[in-house]
A and B are shown apart, each in its own frame.
Chain A
């Protein structure tokens, strides 16, 4: 793998390959010409609204829809009972009232027996406009018998706790995965336990245990979820415009859920207003818009309110973790053991590869070199919304990184050692790569110390510590927090990774027209990641075609080959690789054609960007444009070469890629009020080859804001009665421009050895890596008060309480 060379520029001034290139898609967005789902209006289209449960746990005694049905403009009112009456010709249940989740559990489309979380779908109204649909909701009379809810995950498995999933014949609130397991373990339990026991008895060692909660948060993209579905009864074709990060996977799921033939389903994801994992799941609302069109024969639009989005669609995290770290007094880490109580809500609806029921959490051993690690995760049902894997988490690597980075800082505090020094002592060394972690991951490449030194250099670390010391002497409290994270992205190798049985490989198609212009058809789906720009750059890099001459098509299952979609930072590692591979197929075919045209052997040809030429005679050659025309023309082609340059590919990644980085956050804390100001944020990412550095940096910026948000303000808590306390943007706080500093970015480039262009993916790196940097910085600021840990979010109240030695329990209502 060679370092990135400066790409030559196209006539339009774009790099023919990698480098900063302004985004193609911006042309429509800056004119207000984006086309999002709520912008879709089909002739005769109806609108819809969902009646949701006000209770977290209640039995439905009766539902009276007559008044709603009588309202002028109302076309249909659908309840769980209606759905039970619609037979479903599929293997996944015999009627429409329930649907499968992405984790082989079941979820109610509309509640029939009980409601199991506040905001659960109870009835569906289709009307001629959206205001009338909302009016009708008020006219539906539901008689509930309230039941005691299970809101505290820690009490979910207590004897006598109310049973949530009695529909499945359960007698407790445990969750069993598709393999029959009720707990999920990884690593070496015995070795880790022994190492920790030994350390406990060794005066030269320390053992630190810390309870660390990663509370429930929400991806909250600016555009909520929605869909417009239309079933053409004559052709039997279902067309669905939807906010989907994974249109092909969704098509297959709808085929399974609705029993519709898959070739008659067309999913179109138009412009998507942010995803962050929120638009991976299949929600009852989507399914109801399909049912709505089946019932009415008209196109039906469903768009969530913000409250519905925050209260019912995929949340993230909700992991109660207890970590134990053992180390020598010199600071050499020996072992880490983790016990997790995982709150999955009322339905096990996590979106992750089947064989990884706790996602990739077991990558928690992190960026450090130690032999013993073990984790045990126990999932439970509670009366909360389903979900768990979302919000740019790389399948729960957010939780893993937060855990280990907090534990390392707790250890540093125990040892009275600089957290930077402790990390430098334990970071994996370049010669250890490829490195097999104690829980079985094979990290592909990394020069960790180099990256950390770059971050410390940008930060001016020694000066910062000096400043901190001076400030402390004056009674001012600043903190410096580190995070060194290793991600594992690009799921994934088909033999290990599937979702609902669909292997996580991605298809791609490249057509080169006779004039040398090209069309690339992707299976992945941008929600802002600039695919229309960066994928053209990959093809340009491989074939020398100007990026402005390459059209990138995505977001329409009728126009693109099958693939699993965009989440888990998988687009560049999987589809980006596919784009390189398919380009190389075209290049190889071009070589055959060029050889025929130049009347030489293909082996005599040499490639320079955009052109095959005869070795030793640079003047004798054909450009890719010339070859494109020749391949469509009358030139006699060698045997076995069919003509045209078009190619397809399916990329099955041999391994994940392992981007990593070092983040340093500097905060000022006002101990009188508990207010935290993020003053600086230094982020050095190594994501291998950077296709478009401008876009990479943009991805990092967004993730850093996420980290500030989660660390300081974002939270979905519940009170004991089951009320969601984060159900609007007044209560679920996202950071504004005022809470975010101007970020200071740096980079190192350690290409992935197994990826065709050495790229590793970066979409979630900063969201994964940044929260612990902020929390570690605040804890560092509070060290003089003897504070070692407080859970996120570090609101002013929580910080002040931490100083008083009484931090807030964040997952329940503040008392």
Chain B
């Protein structure tokens, strides 16, 4: 069950921001201080990206800006103006789940699901840069993101699964 985005902006938003989100150009109004995570969630309405702390420690807000995972709570929407953003909603391509999504389901890499979008975005990036990461490289790669449910064991396995099952258009090194 999903709900409509409210249209009760209190005051005149004072800037316009345009970015490409999951391949689509999006222009919206916001304040200069609006955080990217709030822009994506509350203004654009893509709520797969979460937030979980105030100090850039938890990583539930991780999405990609210009091809790299970043913590979207630590970036203003204005700073992403003109840039390319990819969120969890952009993992699935043409109705095909990304191997990282399949991996998390295959290997029970999630429980409550809250950290999962951020973990998958970083997982995808790890594999894009290193198709055969070691366990240590995977653990280090996700070390800026916290999970309270899985103890990380199955998150590591999920990313390993995705490495072993690349999509057809991925080149297996």
Contacts and interface: CB of A to CB of B under 8 A. Distances in A.
A complexed with B:
yes
Interface of A: 22-23, 25-36, 38-46, 72-73, 127-132, 219-224, 270-276, 305-307, 527-530, 694-695, 697-699, 701-706, 728-730, 734, 736-738, 740, 742-743
Interface string B95-106: 001000110111
A738 B140 contact: yes
B147 interface: yes
Interface of B: 1-6, 8-11, 31, 33-34, 38, 41-42, 46-55, 57-58, 60, 87-89, 91-92, 97, 101-102, 104-106, 108, 110-117, 120, 135, 138-140, 142-156
Given A25-B113, A131-B31, A527-B112, A73 B47 contact: no
A274 B120 CA distance: 18
B89 A274 contact: no
Nearest to A699: B111
Contact of B115 (A30, A222, A694): A222
A270 B1 contact: yes
Which of B42, B138, B155 has the most chain A CB within a 10 Å cutoff?
A: B42
B44 to A, nearest CB: 13
Which of A223, A529, A704 has the most chain B CB within a 10 Å cutoff?
A: A223
Given A22-B105, A41-B6, A742-B156, A701 B54 contact: no
Given A306-B53, A703-B151, A728-B54, A32 B89 contact: yes
A694 B105 CA distance: 11
A273 B114 contact: yes
A32 B49 contact: yes
A23 B105 contact: yes
A222 B148 contact: yes
Contact of A306 (B8, B52, B105): B52
B68 to A, nearest CB: 19
Given A222-B60, A274-B149, A44 B111 contact: no
A530 B114 contact: no
A111 to B, nearest CB: 23
A705 B111 CA distance: 14
A273 B106 CA distance: 20
Overall SS of chain B's interface: loop
17 contacts: A22-B106, A28-B113, A33-B48, A35-B2, A39-B41, A40-B3, A43-B6, A45-B8, A73-B11, A129-B8, A272-B112, A273-B114, A698-B154, A705-B148, A705-B152, A706-B148, A728-B53
Contacts of A702: 111, 148-151
Contacts of A704: 151
Given A30-B104, A273-B112, A698-B111, A223 B52 contact: yes
Contacts of B55: 306, 728-730
Given A26-B110, A31-B88, A31-B92, A307 B151 contact: no
Contacts of B34: 131
A528 B53 contact: no
A218 to B, nearest CB: 11
Contacts of B150: 698, 701-702, 705
Nearest to B138: A737
Contacts of A131: 31, 33-34
A304 B34 CA distance: 18
A221 B143 CA distance: 17
Which of A27, A34, A221 has the most chain B CB within a 10 Å cutoff?
A: A34
Given A729-B53, A729-B58, A36 B114 contact: yes
A694 B107 CA distance: 9
Contact of A32 (B6, B38, B117, B145): B117
A32 B48 contact: yes
A730 B57 contact: yes
B110 A222 contact: no
A126 B117 CA distance: 30
B116 A29 contact: yes
A41 B4 contact: yes
Contact of B151 (A22, A31, A527, A743): A743
B112 A740 contact: no
A112 to B, nearest CB: 28
B4 to A, nearest CB: 7
Contacts of B105: 22-23, 26-27, 30
B146 A729 contact: yes
Given A38-B50, A223-B112, 10 more contacts: A22-B106, A22-B108, A29-B113, A29-B116, A44-B6, A129-B10, A222-B147, A223-B50, A698-B149, A742-B156
Overall SS of chain A's interface: loop
Contact of B114 (A73, A274, A730): A274
Contacts of A529: 111
Contacts of A742: 135, 153, 156
A743 B157 CA distance: 12
Nearest to A276: B148
A728 B87 CA distance: 26
Given A33-B48, A271-B113, A698-B108, A740 B151 contact: yes
Nearest 7 pairs between A and B by C-beta? Answer: A32-B48, A528-B112, A273-B114, A29-B113, A528-B111, A705-B151, A73-B10
Given A36-B50, A222-B58, A127 B148 contact: no
Which of A42, A702, A738 has the most chain B CB within a 10 Å cutoff?
A: A702
A219 B148 CA distance: 9
Contact of B152 (A30, A224, A737): A737
Contact of B46 (A30, A32, A130, A530): A32
Which of B42, B54, B58, B102 has the most chain A CB within a 10 Å cutoff?
A: B54
Nearest to B102: A30
Contacts of A307: 54
A45 B5 CA distance: 10
B93 to A, nearest CB: 12
B87 A32 contact: yes
A274 B97 contact: no
A530 B154 CA distance: 15
Nearest to A72: B11
A39 B10 contact: no
Contacts of B153: 701, 740, 742-743
A329 B151 CA distance: 40
A129 B9 contact: yes
A32 B88 contact: yes
Contact of B143 (A39, A43, A736): A736
Contacts of A223: 50, 52, 112, 114
Given A306-B53, A527-B112, A738 B148 contact: no
A280 B112 CA distance: 16
A127 B138 CA distance: 43
Given A223-B112, A698-B150, A730-B57, A30 B120 contact: yes
Contacts of A276: 148
Contacts of B111: 274, 528-530, 698-699, 702
A39 B51 CA distance: 11
B47 A39 contact: yes
Contacts of B144: 736
B6 A737 contact: no
A738 B112 contact: no
Given A26-B105, A30-B97, A729-B55, A737 B143 contact: yes
B55 to A, nearest CB: 5
Given A31-B92, A32-B46, A737-B142, A528 B113 contact: yes
Contacts of B41: 38-39
Nearest to A527: B112
A318 B21 CA distance: 47
A31 B89 contact: yes
B8 A305 contact: no
A29 B11 contact: no
Contacts of A734: 146, 148
A759 B48 CA distance: 35
Given A703-B151, A729-B53, A222 B142 contact: no
A264 B141 CA distance: 49
Contacts of B57: 728-730
Nearest to B104: A30
Which of B31, B42, B110 has the most chain A CB within a 10 Å cutoff?
A: B110
